[in-house]
Amino acid sequence: MQTVLVQQRNFFNAGHTISYADRKHALKRLSTGLKQHENEILDALYQDLGKSTHEAYMSELGLTLAEIRHALKHLKGWMRPKRRRTPLANFPATQRIYAAPYGVVLIIAPWNYPLLLSLAPLVGALAAGNCAVIKPSELAPATAEVLAHLIREAFPEEYVAVVNGAVEVSKALLDEPFDYIFYTGNGTVGQYVMERAAAHLTPVTLELGGKSPVVVTQSANLALAARRIVFGKYLNCGQTCIAPDYVLVEKQVHAEFVHHVTEAITKMYGTAPLKNPSYGHIINSRHFERLCRLLLPEKIVHGGEVNAQRLQIAPTVMNGVDAQDAVMQEEIFGPILPILEVNNLDEAYRFIQSHPHPLALYLFTQKRTDEKRFLEELQFGGGCVNDVISHIVPSNLPFGGVGASGIGAYHGASSFQTFSHPKSIVRRKQWWDPPVRYLPYKNWKTRLLRRML
Ligand code: NAD
């Protein structure tokens, strides 16, 4: 581990990652590797999480390739130094901001989108001219192995390396003096990562989770809302950081909304979802058992079937849930959708405000006034109006949390900025040297200074 770090630092210091050509080449190699290993990747995602080919491409491989394409298209522009107007105090001069790579960055990834969440940050790190060490999640071992193989083929270890292993490996990596740490996972480990980073004053991005609410108002198109919520909730069996965690629905439309949700589930997953080959499974028995403990049989209005052997839980809806129920005490991260009734939007907003800032928030409404309140009064990472999870798709939107749901953002230009230090440079002209700042200070100089600052 230490050897890799020393080698990467030497490689970086030798300037092998800096030029536009180097970065472009690196991104292309990554893209080629992904295409060459497409079948192994899809197999691995099926092994780890039971993801169907369609889902694995849509939510992992396709998004990663799109992120690379976007970076390749915009890289030159991102790298170009940005000119800034010179204030009178610095006259005569030109001013520019240069995006400087940090050096050697560490990317720690989780298991739920094991390919995307290892490689999307890597795209930003490479575009910004860094070397990188990736630590995939040990809970998705098949994907971790494919990643190691793919990266080894595409890059020398002194440029990009995959270090596989469990928590101890992750901890050992965090003891090393990386120049930047990009962590995706739960908040408790996020705090630990930040503590370890503090020892070396290493800057961090923390992509965390939390309970992402959905608010369904009485003006919403209920059938459409239900279909979209069902898609976003049960994708990857609910093991999605921005999955709708719970729904707050206005009482006037509560019953009708629940009906549409159950109908949408049956339409998408059939009457025997555990036999549906497109429906995956829970990552491991610990999470499976945790999720089973959240099920309240008397509140289940749809689903609830489980298969312990295959770690499967059917798409489940719990109605009449209240804030004290276990399912409302932690991020669910599984295929259980609690629905809570609220008297009005005020109640929904107060409920959301009284909880930690969520990673995502979704509002279903046809009223602009509801939208305005939602956008202006509530704090959350990002979200959608009349949809769920689609704000993660475009590379030209920054993605990240706020407060308990994270620090910093990435994707596209935002990734490039995350992995770059903005180096401000004033290029002073030599044809005139204004005397105002120099001693001896005189009244006329003070008067002039006061006009300039
Ligand atoms: P995980 O258990 O795979 O952990 C993530 C990484 O941290 C792994 O590589 C693991 O080895 C490492 N790790 C675990 N414990 C550690 C420790 N004590 N010290 C050092 N490293 C350690 O994944 P997880 O945390 O279960 O992931 C799920 C969480 O991640 C959810 O809360 C989810 O919302 C969040 N998440 C957020 C995003 C996002 O983009 N914001 C994306 C996916 C998941």
SS3 per-residue string spanning the chain: CHHHHHHHHHHHHCCCCCCHHHHHHHHHHHHHHHHHCHHHHHHHHHHHHCCCHHHHHHHHHHHHHHHHHHHHHHHHHHHCCEEECCCHHHCCEEEEEEEEECCEEEEECCCCCCCHHHHHHHHHHHHCCCEEEEECCCCCHHHHHHHHHHHHHHCCCCCEEECCCCHHHHHHHHCCCCCEEEEECCHHHHHHHHHHHHHCCCCEEEECCCCCEEEECCCCCHHHHHHHHHHHHHHHHHCCCCCCCEEEEEHHHHHHHHHHHHHHHHHHHCCCHHHCCCCCCCCCHHHHHHHHHHCCHHHEEECCCEECCCCEECCEEEECCCCCCHHHCCCCCCCEEEEEEECCHHHHHHHHHCCCCCCEEEEECCCHHHHHHHHHHCCCCEEEECCCCHHHCCCCCCECCCHHHEECCECHHHHHHHCEEEEEEEEECCCCCCHHHCCCCCHHHHHHHHHHC
Q: Report which protein residue has its CA nearest ligand 1's atom 28.
A: 185
Q: Please indicate whether residue 227 or residue 1 has the higher confidence score (pLDDT).
A: 227
Whole-number pLDDT of residue 2: 86
**241 given a catalytic annotation:** yes
pLDDT value of residue 426:
98
Whether omega before 244 lies within 30 degrees of 0, making that bond cis, reads no
| d(CA 208, ligand 1 centre) in Å | 8
Q: Which is the closest atom of ligand 1 to the Cα of 405?
A: 41
Locus of tokens 């930047």: 180
Whole-number percent of the chain with pLDDT over 70: 100
For ligand 1, pick from 170, 245, 284, 287 the residue to mutate: most ligand atoms within 8 Å of CB: 170
Ligand 1 atom at minimal distance to the Cα of residue 165? 11
Q: Report the distance separating Cα 257 and Cα 339, nearest Å.
A: 10
Nearest of 2, 378, 362, 300 to residue 157 by alpha carbon: 2
Q: Kindly report whether the global pTM for this prediction surpasses the value 0.95.
A: yes
Question: Other C-beta atoms within 10 Å of 412: how many?
Answer: 24
Using alpha carbons only, how large is the chain's radius of gyration in Å?
A: 25
Q: How far apart are CA 59 and CA 29, in angstroms?
A: 21
Mean pLDDT across the stretch 123-132?
98
Tokens of 350: 């107060």
Q: Is 208 in the pocket of ligand 1 (CB under 6 A)?
A: yes
> Band of the pLDDT at 389, cuts 50, 70, 90?
very high
In this prediction, residues 133-146 reach a mean pLDDT of 98
Spatial separation of the C-alpha atoms in residues 358 and 74, rounded to whole Å? 30
pLDDT at 137 over 90: yes
Span 270-287, pLDDT tens digits: 999 999 999 999 999 999
Going from the Cα of 438 to the center of ligand 1, the distance in angstroms, rounded, reads: 55
Ligand 1: centre distance to CA 189 (Å): 7
Q: Is 248 in the pocket of ligand 1 (CB under 6 A)?
A: no
Work out the average pLDDT over 362-377: 94
Q: Choose, from 67, 241, 331, 341, the residue flagged as catalytic.
A: 241
Length of the chain: 453
Q: Burial letters for 88-115: b for 16+ Cβ neighbours within 10 Å, e otherwise? A: eebeeeebeeebebbbbbbbbbbbbbbb
Confirm or reject: Cβ of 111 under 6 Å from ligand 1: yes
Ligand 1 neighbourhood includes 417 CB (under 6 angstroms): no
Q: How far is the CA of 190 from the centre of ligand 1 (A)?
A: 8
| Nearest of 55, 78, 167, 77 to residue 124 by alpha carbon | 78
Residue 241 Cβ < 6 Å to ligand 1: yes
* Among 207, 250, 331, 341, the one annotated catalytic: 207
User: What pLDDT score does 340 carry?
Assistant: 98
| Residues 147-161, mean pLDDT to the nearest whole number | 98
72 falls in which pLDDT band (50, 70, 90)? very high
Residue nearest to atom 1 of ligand 1 (CA): 110
Residue in 115, 119, 174, 189 to alter for ligand 1 test, most ligand atoms within 8 A of Cβ: 189
Distance CA 54, CA 60 (A): 10
- The per-residue pLDDT for 1 is 82
Task: Give the tokens for residue 123.
Answer: 């795209």
> Does the beta carbon of 110 sit less than 6 angstroms from any atom of ligand 1?
yes
The verdict on whether 176 is a catalytic residue reads: no
When the pLDDT of each residue in the chain is averaged and rounded to a whole number, the result is 97
Looking at residue 86, its pLDDT comes to 97
Nearest to 11 by CA among 168, 181, 130, 166: 130
**Banded model confidence at residue 374, pLDDT cuts 50, 70, 90:** confident
